[in-house]
Amino acid sequence: MRKGVVLLCSVLEVRRTALYDPLAAGVCDSSPRTHGSMTEYGSEKMAEEERNGSAEKLKEKANNYFKDKDYENAIKYYTEALELNPSNAIYYSNRSLAYLRTECYGYALGDATRALELDKNYIKGYYRRATSNMALGKFKAALKDYETVVRVRPNDKDAKMKYQECNKIVKQKAFERAIASDELKRSVVDSLDIENMTIEDDYAGPKLEDGNVTLKFMKDLMAWFKDQNKLHRKCAYQMLVQVKEVLSKLPCLVEISLKETEEITICGDTHGQYYDLLNIFELNGLPSITNPYLFNGDFVDRGSFSVEVILTLFGFKLLYPEHFHLLRGNHETDNMNQMYGFEGEVKAKYTAQMFQLFSEVFQWLPLTQCINNKVLVMHGGLFSEDGVTLDDIRKIDRNRQPPDSGPMCDLLWSDPQPQDGRSISKRGVSCQFGPDVTERFLEQNKLQYIVRSHEVKAEGYEVTHSGKCITVFSAPNYCDQMGNKGAYIHLRGSDLKPEFHQFTAVPHPDVKPMAYANSLMQMGMM
């Protein structure tokens, strides 16, 4: 097992294809594989056979945990099997699949690559590696592996569909790069004629009052969404244009002060789980001037009510701009939205043009928030290098898609680890940082602790690095199958001591997570 790795990241359970193919459906390989000459019967050979037999038992134990969706223990026993037999491609491929299910895409890619180094003809290895590269946005690399699978298995319909879909994405990306180099991209706002959009007589839903969000509008909107109705496109466009203006005036690092008696609620990822968002407001009260909130990124994707979540959050931002705060997550980005559902959902419920406007708005979301000059909040975590200051954060040009490295990338993507130092990210993006990194950053910037989100936690929150790194996650029973609690944090100005509140998932309409995701994510690719 990789030392110090937090094995259980956020779990993604994708819908399986109706055409059952063990390659497509993400089935762990159960076939034994022996090594060495069967004519050698010396003590060394007997010891090797004993080790291999023990490794096979560990693999089967891991496979059973995998079937039960206990990916943490599956990874544990695949790792033990590999310690006994490190030259078995199947073990690496199976562990790669378990890592995929826990979003540890960097580790999954490494294991799939190792499996293919051991056996270049192992087709499942190409599937796993292609899946890992797709999840990391490395579409050309994924396409190359899908080509290999199709060449070897020309009658595999699932492989052919994956190849075609991946090829389509590669061509689309090339086209986008070509048109981006023409001239400065115009805002969608410039091409909208909102004033002349007509609200039909049969529309019975909420409307802005003189073009403005009011508390009555927000209450009506939440009830309207709860009944699975759609806000009129004119109202949605009005809200997006207004919230873009509000967000664009904010700094990259938002600083707020709480008086001794004042309190703020910090929520983590909500990931399109609209009915759980309503439950937070039920438990903790609606946002108001006296009940401020901070939502720490990843509002969309995965859950299939992301439009409802984000329009509700944007509505409260417009209603209480000084007391309702939103920070950007790694899923408020085009690549993630294309793969994990938000782009597809907006196009299904509205138009491609509206998704482009959402994309513009997301780019203006602040990256960090500092409370009373003592607590720093960001979605992901700290940095790949020491020496980053709050001034450095203030200077980040955030109005763009995140780069693959650097401070902006780290703030959205990095994760804590229990051991000192830094290590390669299990996600394949940014890094993992230890308690010594946290300590140095806090000391240099005269801060007490950081609050971040980005990872599912069984209890909804986790306190690490001697209390100086807190994770909060607010999507209970993540993707309808993790069984985790959700949580939010109360911080009072008097002492800034975090007070944790847990809650469980509530029922929602029968629309599965990932219902609007890219078809590659729905064809059993993982």
* Interval 404-423 mean pLDDT: 97
pLDDT of residue 37: 52
- At residue 42 the predicted structure's pLDDT band, cuts being 50, 70 and 90, is low
Among candidates 282, 403, 394, 269, which has minimal Cα distance to 340? 269
pTM of the model as a whole? 0.88
pLDDT of residue 1: 39
Q: Is residue 251's pLDDT more than 70?
A: yes
**DSSP-assigned letters across all residues of 330-373:** TTSSHHHHHHHSHHHHHHHHS-HHHHHHHHHHHTTS-SEEEETT
Measured N-to-C along each axis, helices 274-284 and 215-226 cross at an angle, to the nearest 10 degrees, of 130
26, 69, 81, 133, 526 from 153: Cα distances, Å = 17, 29, 29, 20, 18
Among candidates 400, 360, 75, which has minimal Cα distance to 189? 360
Q: What's the pLDDT tens digit per position in 264-276?
A: 999 999 999 999 9
Q: Is residue 292's pLDDT more than 80?
A: yes
Q: In what order do the strands lie in the sheet with 469-472?
A: 253-256, 368-371, 375-378, 449-452, 469-472, 461-464
Q: What's the pLDDT tens digit per position in 83-97?
A: 999 999 999 999 999
Other beta carbons less than 10 A from residue 18's beta carbon: 7
The mean-pLDDT minimum among 134-138, 367-371, 420-424, 482-486 falls in: 134-138
pLDDT of residue 22: 39
- At residue 48 the predicted structure's pLDDT band, cuts being 50, 70 and 90, is confident
Active site residue: 271, 323, 325, 331, which one? 331
Provide CB contacts within 8 A for 482, sequence distance 6+: 10, 11, 456
pLDDT of residue 20: 31
The mean-pLDDT minimum among 85-89, 223-227, 305-309, 479-483 falls in: 479-483
Ordered by start, the domain boundaries in the chain are 48-179, 189-525
The mean-pLDDT minimum among 75-79, 125-129, 137-141 falls in: 137-141
Q: How far apart are CA 453 and CA 101, in angstroms?
A: 19
Q: What's the pLDDT tens digit per position in 331-369?
A: 999 989 999 999 999 999 999 999 999 999 999 999 999
* Residue 331: active-site member: yes
Farthest-apart Cα atoms in the chain, separation: 88
Q: Which two tokens stand for residue 311?
A: 């329009």
* Interval 192-206 mean pLDDT: 95
**Answer CATH for 48-179 from 3.40.50.720, 1.25.40.10, 3.30.70.100, 2.40.10.10:** 1.25.40.10
Q: What letter does residue 452 receive in the DSSP assignment? A: E
- At residue 522 the predicted structure's pLDDT band, cuts being 50, 70 and 90, is low
- At residue 205 the predicted structure's pLDDT band, cuts being 50, 70 and 90, is very high
Q: Is residue 244's pLDDT more than 70?
A: yes
Provide CB contacts within 8 A for 45, sequence distance 6+: 36, 37
The mean-pLDDT minimum among 15-19, 327-331, 442-446 falls in: 15-19
Q: Does domain 189-525 have CATH number 3.40.50.80?
A: no
The mean-pLDDT minimum among 59-63, 97-101, 438-442 falls in: 97-101
* Interval 37-52 mean pLDDT: 74
The percent of residues in the chain predicted with pLDDT above 90, rounded, is 80
Parallel, antiparallel or unpaired: strands 486-492 and 263-267 = antiparallel
Q: Is residue 25's pLDDT more than 60?
A: no
Q: What are phi and psi of 342, to 5 degrees?
A: -65, -40
Q: What's the pLDDT tens digit per position in 257-266?
A: 999 999 999 9
